[in-house]
Amino acid sequence: MSARCGDELICDFAETYHIYDWRGLPLNLAVILAGGLPEFSRSKMKLRGERATLDQLLLARICDLLAGYFGAKTETGEPAPSLVKIISEPPKAPDKPKTRLFRSGAEFMKELNRHLEGGKNNG
């Protein structure tokens, strides 16, 4: 369990048992305590691939139904997005930052000055 959800297990042990270094426990005790974590604990939810508890999903579904009933629309007039879909979908991977290499410090300074001058004209 710890290889797939180590950070979650640390948080669960701290929250549930007030144990802040579960790796210092005897292995059999750590296994028993991990097995005794509630079904909605971070570790068990991650192992099951769940991003929200049943309660959260039911509340989101109620909100979706009410939004549909009252005709909730976004500023563009589109129907309101489904909360169930939002909390159920895995998070999108962040965009990789665009990096640029410069051959010299002078080349870097030239580009920096170009951006700074552009900011003065636009501000």
CA gap 67, 26 in Å, rounded: 51
pLDDT of residue 118: 76
pLDDT of residue 123: 42
Sign of CA dihedral 25, 30, 33, 38: positive
Q: Do residues 15 and 24 touch, judged by C-beta distance below 8 A?
A: no
Structure confidence by residue, pLDDT tens digits, 42-76 = 999 999 888 899 999 999 999 999 988 888 777 78
With a cut of 50, list the residues of the chain below it in pLDDT: 122-123
Q: Residues near 30 by Cβ (< 8 Å), separated by ≥ 6?
A: 22, 23
Amino acid at 43: S
